[in-house]
Structure 1
Amino acid sequence: MTELEKMLSGQDYFASDKQLVKMRFDARDRLDEINAVKQSDVKKRAQLFKQLFGQTGKRLYIESTFKCDYGCNITVGENFYANFGCVILDAAKVTFGDDCMLAPQVGIYTAAHPLDPVARNKGIEFAKPITLGHNCWVGGNAVINPGVTLGNNVVVASGAVVTKSFGDDLVIGGNPARVIKSIHD
């Protein structure tokens, strides 16, 4: 298997592999181009994000600055919005349903490192996919960690650190995130 195949299948991979490094630099070059486009040029920015991401809905809007590792592993549904300073480390698939919103400074991180310092210092990493259902709203400075799945209609409170998966119709918050209440309460 190539290091890319290992990465996408959730196995340990060598992050400094030449192919992966080239893919990350290519994505960064595209992000430099996107982040340099005026915010008022909505159509141009959307077109460039549609080229960067693996799949998108028809409507999306992402404020500058936006950063990601690869871009091609990100799928966003219809009416996606990300506010200033969003970072998505997409070494694994990151999938958003329709009508998702990310507040400023949200971090979504699929990439992880071994606990063993010897393996970690050799540049070994692994990644786990992240999925957010429809109508999710992630508050400012919240972090979604590797392997998390959030159901539909989930609100993540500002500053939350989401380390595990949650079902539908919930407000979650804290560090680590826990259920605060049901949307229907």
Structure 2
Amino acid sequence: MDAQELYKDVGPGLEALEESRVRGKELAREFNALQPRDTPGRNRVLRELFGAVGNGVWVEPPLYVAYGAHTTVGDGVYANTGLTLVDDGPIRIGNGVMFAPHVTVATAGHPLHPAARPHGEQFSAPVVIEDDVWVGSHVSIMPGVRIGRGSVIAAGAVVTANVPPMVVAGGVPARVLREITDADRHWTYQAPSTLALPVGSEAPGA
């Protein structure tokens, strides 16, 4: 797993690994069943579930993990509902990271050719999300990716490559859309623009 080689995670000799995976899912299930007002209970389970967790962390259920123990979470992290952490390999989440609803962070993948995965063989590569990153809703972050400090990942993006610090990235696959500059410190709401019709087409009813 650590060498990014193909492996199987079930079988003789892997009982401890299987137990760790099952225990993570039990803790996630316990977390998801807690009452909304039970903040102490949530904090307790998160500290048992994750490999490390900082202060001021808030996770909205449901939360899904492969292991949980392979994920470390910094201070002041906020995760909205439906976060999925496929942490077969390490996931490191920095300070001040924000996740919108239904984000998937995946460290595991499989070879493309079926002959290379006859028994479900997989690989894992660590994912690093640096400090102050904001991840939009329904984003998928793929194995081995590092997202640089302060960057924003637009909703619906599929991140297959490293993202530099202080940029907005989006699309499928994600690409850098623009830099984040000091001008962005002065925030005002901007209403969405109207999509342009394709050249040569007419508006409905025209």
In the alignment, what sits opposite 1:123? 120
Deviation at 1:11, TM superposition (A): 2.0
In the alignment, what sits opposite 1:166? 163
What secondary structure, in the 3-state scheme, does the structure 2 residue paired with 1:176 have?
coil
**Using CA pairs below 8 Å that are at least 6 residues apart, which structure has the higher relative contact order?**
1
Amino acid at match of 1:179: V
TM-superposition CA deviations, 1:34-68 (whole Å, max 9, x none): 11111221121012111110111122111110001
Name segments (4+ residues, structure 1) moved above 6 Å.
Answer: none
- CA–CA distance in structure 2, aligned partners of residues 141 and 61 of structure 1: 19
Amino acid at match of 2:106: Y
Amino acid at match of 2:78: Y
Does residue 8 of the first structure (1) align with residue 5 of the second (2)? no
Does residue 56 of the first structure (1) align with residue 64 of the second (2)? no
What secondary structure, in the 3-state scheme, does the structure 2 residue paired with 1:181 have?
strand
The answer to which of 115-124 and 46-55 deviates more is 115-124
In the alignment, what sits opposite 1:156? 153
Higher fraction of strand: 1
| Contact 1:80 1:101 (C-alpha < 8 Å) held by counterparts | yes
Amino acid at match of 1:77: G
In the alignment, what sits opposite 2:42? 45
Segments of structure 2 that go 5 or more residues without pairing to the other structure are: 184-206
Amino acid at match of 1:45: R
What secondary structure, in the 3-state scheme, does the structure 1 residue paired with 2:53 have?
coil
- CA–CA distance in structure 2, aligned partners of residues 32 and 83 of structure 1: 16
- CA–CA distance in structure 2, aligned partners of residues 22 and 13 of structure 1: 17
**Taking every aligned residue pair, what percent have the same amino acid on both sides?**
35
Q: Highest Rg: 1 or 2? A: 2
Segments of structure 1 that go 5 or more residues without pairing to the other structure are: 1-6
| Contact 1:8 1:91 (C-alpha < 8 Å) held by counterparts | no
What secondary structure, in the 3-state scheme, does the structure 2 residue paired with 1:131 have?
strand
Normalised TM-score (structure 1)? 0.92
Deviation at 1:156, TM superposition (A): 0.3
Normalised TM-score (structure 2)? 0.83
Amino acid at match of 1:21: E
The answer to which of 116-125 and 51-60 deviates more is 116-125
The answer to which of 121-130 and 102-111 deviates more is 121-130
Aligned CA-pair RMSD: 1.2
| Contact 1:10 1:92 (C-alpha < 8 Å) held by counterparts | no
